[in-house]
Amino acid sequence: MPSWLVSEKVRRLYLVFGDQLDHQSPLFDEIDPDRDRLWMAEIAEEATHVWSHKLRLAFFFSAMRHFREYLTSGGYTVQYHELGKTPADDIGTNFSEVLRHDLARMEFEELVAVEPGDHRVREALEIFAKEEKVKLRWLDDTHFYLPLDAFKDWAADRKSFLLEHFYRMMRKRSGILMTPKGKPEGGEWNFDKDNRRAFGKKGPPSLPVFGDYPADALTREVVALINSRFPEHPGRLDAFSLPVTREAGLEEMDRFIEERLHGFGEYEDALWSSEKLIYHSRLSALLNAKLLNPREVVDRVIKAYREGRAPLNSVEGYVRQILGWREFVRGIYHFFGPDYLRKNALGAKADLPMFFWDGKTDMACVKDAMENVLENGYAHHIQRLMVLGQFSLLWGADPFKFHEWHMGMYLDAIDWASAPNTIGMSQFGDGGIVATKPYCASGNYIKKMSNHCSECRYRPELASGEQACPFTSLYYSFLDRHRERFDDNHRMTFQLKNLERKSTEELAQIRAREADLRARWGAQEESDA
C-alpha cells in the first residue's frame, strides 16, 4: 500500500477518466506533483452498463494503463485501481464506491476533474461530493475548439440547429480553410457534391493495410483480464493490434494522411464488401480518448493539402468531420442535457434483431457491416448510418436501445459523441434537431453505393414478395406509417410522392412482407412503432 494513502495529506486529488488521456490536459496547468495526486480507476460499471465489445474494453483499459505509465515517468504520483479477474477482487463497482474507499484512507482538500463527456458520470460524482461533503471543481475541457458556453451562445433562441450554419461559424471563428479576404478556400463551404462517388464494377484500388501495433506486456495483461472477466462479451482479442498510446496514434495519423486522405473525399460514402475501412482514418477512438488532439489532426491534414498531397475536397470533407460535426454533436449533447437520451419522436418501441449481436443474417450489406463491427469494433459512417442505423430506424427500434448497442459495440463510442449520432441523426428520435429529415432510403441506395446487392439473395427493386429487399419493404412501410408526420416536411416530398404511387394492393403486399420479416426476426414492437 502506498504510504501516502495512510499518512500523507493531499492538497488536491485530480481525477482522470478513461476518455481523458490528454497529454495537454488543463490539469497539468495547475497540478503540483509534490502536493497533489492523480487518480484513475478501471470501473466495472463502465465495462458493463452497456454490453461492451471486448475490443472496446481492451482499447480503453490498455490506453489507460499506458497513460498511467506516461504520468509516473513524468514525476506524478498516480493512484490507479485495476479491475480484478473476478468481481470479488474489486474495491467498488462504480466511481463513487472506489472514491469512497480512498476517502476513508486519505485526506484531501478538493477533488478536481476536467468536465466529463458523460452526463451519467458527472451526476454520480456531484452526488458523491454532496453526500461526502467534499469540494468538487470542474475544469473546462480545452481539448475541443469551442467552449460549451460559446456553443450555448450560438444555440440560444435558435429554432433550428443546422450543421451547415454551425460549420460556417466555426470556419470563420477559427480561420481554418479561409482566405485572407474571409472567403472559404476554393470558393465553396463544402464539396459534398464531389464526395458521393461509388467505386464502380472494379471496386476500390488495393490499399495498404492499417498500421499493426503488436500488444506489449501491459496490453497482454489487459487482454488476459478481459478474456477472464468478460468472456461472454462480443468480439475477440486473438490478435489485438490497435494503437493505444499517443506515439502510436501519431503514427496512425501520419499513415492515414499519406495513404488514404487523398481518396477520402470522393469515396467517403462508398461501400465495398470485405473492404472494412477503405479510405477512412480509424482515428476517431484516438481522438475521443484524447490521445490525439483535433487541432493537430486538422493542421496536418491541411498541411497535406498545402503541399499538394491531398485534394481540397478530401481535406475539406475530413476537416468538416472534426471541426464541424464532432464539435456540433458535443454541443448538442450538453445543450439539451440528459433528457435528450430519452427522446423518441417516432414512438419506436422494438428490440433490435439478434443479428445486431451475432451478425448472422442473409442481408449481404448488414452481414458485411456486422462482420466489421464484430471483428474491428468499428464501421465507417455509411455502414453506421445507412446500413445498420437505417435498418434500426425502419425496423422501429427504440432509439435508446440502438444508442446502447452503439455505445457497447464501437471503439470510439463516447456518450457525448454517440447520443446525437444515434438518437438524433440516425433514428430521428429528437424529431429533427440534428437531422431535418430521417436518413432513410430503399435498398436501391445500397445498390448504388456498393456491390452488396450483386452478392445478395434479395432484390432491392422489389418491395414485396420473398425476394424483396428488407430495406425496400421496411422503407415503404416506414413512410406509410409516418406519412402524416412527414407530410409538411419539404425534404420528404419526393419520397412521399413515390409512396403515393403505390396502390392499395401493393401496400397490403408490402405490409404482409413486413409482417413476415418481423415474425422471422422476432420483433416485439407495437404496430405503431
Q: What are the tens digits of pLDDT across the range 441-492?
A: 999 999 999 999 999 999 999 999 999 999 999 999 999 999 999 999 999 9
pLDDT value, residue 83: 95
Q: Are residues 160 and 133 located together in one domain of the fold?
A: no
Q: Is residue 226 part of a domain?
A: no
Closest among 268, 250, 422 to 352, alpha carbons compared: 422
Q: Are residues 364 and 330 located together in one domain of the fold?
A: no
Q: Are residues 332 and 306 located together in one domain of the fold?
A: yes
Amino acid at site 256: F
Which three-class secondary structure state does DSSP give residue 397?
A: strand
pLDDT value, residue 106: 84
Cell readout for 313 is: 475536397
Q: Is residue 297 part of a domain?
A: yes
Which three-class secondary structure state does DSSP give residue 107?
A: strand
| CB-CB neighbours of 304 under 10 Å | 20
- Mean pLDDT in the chain? 93
Q: Is the pLDDT of residue 231 over 70?
A: yes
Cell 454520480 belongs to residue: 124
Q: Is residue 132 part of a domain?
A: yes
pLDDT value, residue 359: 95
Q: Give the C-alpha separation, 481 to 483, whole Å.
A: 6
Q: Is the pLDDT of residue 67 over 70?
A: yes
Amino acid at site 132: E
Cell readout for 466 is: 420473398
pLDDT class of 8 with cuts at 50, 70, 90: low
Q: Are residues 126 and 157 located together in one domain of the fold?
A: no
Q: Is residue 250 part of a domain?
A: no
pLDDT class of 527 with cuts at 50, 70, 90: very low
Range with the poorest average pLDDT among 57-71, 194-208, 228-242, 300-314: 194-208
| Contact criterion met (CB below 8 Å) for 319 and 177 | yes
Q: What is the CATH number of the domain that holds 404?
A: 1.10.579.10
Q: Is residue 247 part of a domain?
A: no
Structural domains counted in the chain: 3
Percentage of the chain modeled with pLDDT above 70: 97
Q: Is the pLDDT of residue 528 over 50?
A: no
Q: Give the C-alpha separation, 138 to 77, whole Å.
A: 21
Cell readout for 172 is: 470563420
Residue that wins the pLDDT comparison between 388 and 195 = 388
Contacts of 86 (CB under 8 A, 6+ apart): 229
Distances 264 to 257, 280, 317, 334, 506 between C-alpha atoms, Å:
10, 6, 8, 30, 40
Distances 13 to 26, 30, 197 between C-alpha atoms, Å:
14, 12, 52
Last residue of a domain, one of 85, 112, 139: 139
Q: Is the pLDDT of residue 3 over 90?
A: no
Domain of 442 in residue numbering reads as 355-521
Q: Is residue 85 part of a domain?
A: yes
Q: Give the C-alpha separation, 61 to 495, whole Å.
A: 46
Distances 342 to 54, 262, 402 between C-alpha atoms, Å:
26, 39, 11
Segment (H or E) for 108: strand 107-114
Segment (H or E) for 9: strand 9-15
Q: Is residue 527 part of a domain?
A: no
Q: Are residues 376 and 509 located together in one domain of the fold?
A: yes
Q: Are residues 440 and 511 located together in one domain of the fold?
A: yes
Tens digits of per-residue pLDDT, 121-142? 999 999 999 999 999 999 999 9
Q: Are residues 332 and 187 located together in one domain of the fold?
A: yes
Q: Is residue 323 part of a domain?
A: yes
| Cross-strand bridge partners of residue 110 | 12
Q: Give the C-alpha separation, 187 to 189, whole Å.
A: 7
Q: Are residues 178 and 297 located together in one domain of the fold?
A: yes
Give mean pLDDT, residues 222-234.
95
Q: What is the CATH number of the domain that holds 321?
A: 1.25.40.80
Q: Are residues 364 and 504 located together in one domain of the fold?
A: yes
Tens digits of per-residue pLDDT, 376-391? 999 988 999 999 999 9
Q: What angle do CA 488, 489, 495 make, to 5 degrees?
A: 110
Q: Are residues 377 and 309 located together in one domain of the fold?
A: no
Last residue of a domain, one of 139, 168, 196: 139
Q: Are residues 280 and 408 located together in one domain of the fold?
A: no
Give mean pLDDT, residues 53-73.
97
Distances 284 to 184, 379, 380 between C-alpha atoms, Å:
25, 11, 10
Cell readout for 148 is: 460549451
Q: What is the CATH number of the domain that holds 113?
A: 3.40.50.620
Q: Are residues 128 and 154 located together in one domain of the fold?
A: no
